[in-house]
Amino acid sequence: MNVLIVEDEKSLSHEVEIYLTKQGYNCDVAFNGKSASEKIFVNAYDFVLLDIGLPDYNGFDLLKEAREGNRDSAFIILTARSETDDKIKGLDLGADDYLAKPFSLMELHSRMQAILRRKHGLTTNAIRIGEFLMDINNRTVHYGEQLVNLTRKEFDLLHYLALHKNRVLTRMQLTEHIWGDVMEEDYDSNYIDVHIKNLRKKLSAFGGTDWLETVRGIGYRLNQ
């Protein structure tokens, strides 16, 4: 999952970036509104963590602009402002949540997980996929009591497909959300096919994987 951290306090943005990267997210950082606007225009983000008090941009204007062009992104306001009016204004402009500084990184991650659950109609951090159970918090997949040993990318790929069950995802979509900005990488669509092949092989050693469908010429779909 891709996250844009919009925060002019570089030490804080660095802390958030390190923490979320360890949790399996791909992070970009913008230290001002101009940079954030450019990144949001070019890239698709699952989360935008937005500081309202930017040096060159009204944070609320940026939120409004970004929300209009990124309907699928989740926005969390991070700010030193704690006034009720600011919270209401941010939420009215499309923010999904609001965290006042200083905040706990664990709480930030917990709120991000809660937004994901709401967005995808989940009630817990566990997702049942066929005969398998995916634990989002612990980043594990089990078949009964047996642990399926997946790599980080394999887990991320399965997680993203599960969150968008019954929807065809193109190879480019999967690559952008699992590997980040493909324009900065030596992109090869075969990466996805190889990882899907390895994922199927590992899962099929335990149970059926008929729910993981290849949509010829387009990409993949998880049927539930």
Nearest residue to 49 (alpha-carbon basis) of 17, 84, 81, 24: 17
Average pLDDT value for residue range 87-93: 83
Domain topology for 2-119? Rossmann fold (3.40.50)
pLDDT number for residue 150 = 94
Mind listing the pLDDT tens digit for each residue in 42-81? 888 889 999 988 888 888 888 888 887 777 789 999 877 6
Better pLDDT: 3 or 125: 3
Specify the pLDDT at position 87. Answer: 78
Chain segment 105-156, per-residue pLDDT in tens: 999 998 998 898 888 777 778 899 999 999 988 889 999 999 999 998 899 8
Q: Is the pLDDT of residue 187 over 70?
A: no
| C-beta atoms surrounding 144 within 10 Å | 10
Q: What is this structure's pTM?
A: 0.73
Average pLDDT in the 75-98 region?
82
220 pLDDT above the threshold of 80: yes
Q: Per the structure block, which two tokens stand in for 32?
A: 């001002």
Percent of the chain with pLDDT over 90: 43
Q: Where in the chain is the domain with CATH 3.40.50.2300?
A: 2-119
Tokens 């979320």 belong to residue: 20
Is 48:30 a contact under the CB 8 Å cutoff? Answer: no
Residue 182 pLDDT exceeds 50? no
Bin 16: left if φ > 0, else alpha if -120 < ψ < 50, else beta: alpha
Q: Which two tokens stand for residue 124?
A: 């817990």
Give the model's pLDDT for residue 11.
Answer: 93
Q: Retrieve residue 103's tokens.
A: 């905040």
With a cut of 70, say whether residue 202 has pLDDT above it: yes
Q: Is the pLDDT of residue 172 over 90?
A: no
Instruction: Say if CB 27 and CB 49 are below 8 A apart.
Output: no
pLDDT at 188 over 60: no
**Which option is the CATH number for 126-222: 3.40.50.300, 3.90.110.10, 1.10.10.10, 3.40.50.1970?**
1.10.10.10
Q: Where in the chain is the domain with CATH 1.10.10.10?
A: 126-222
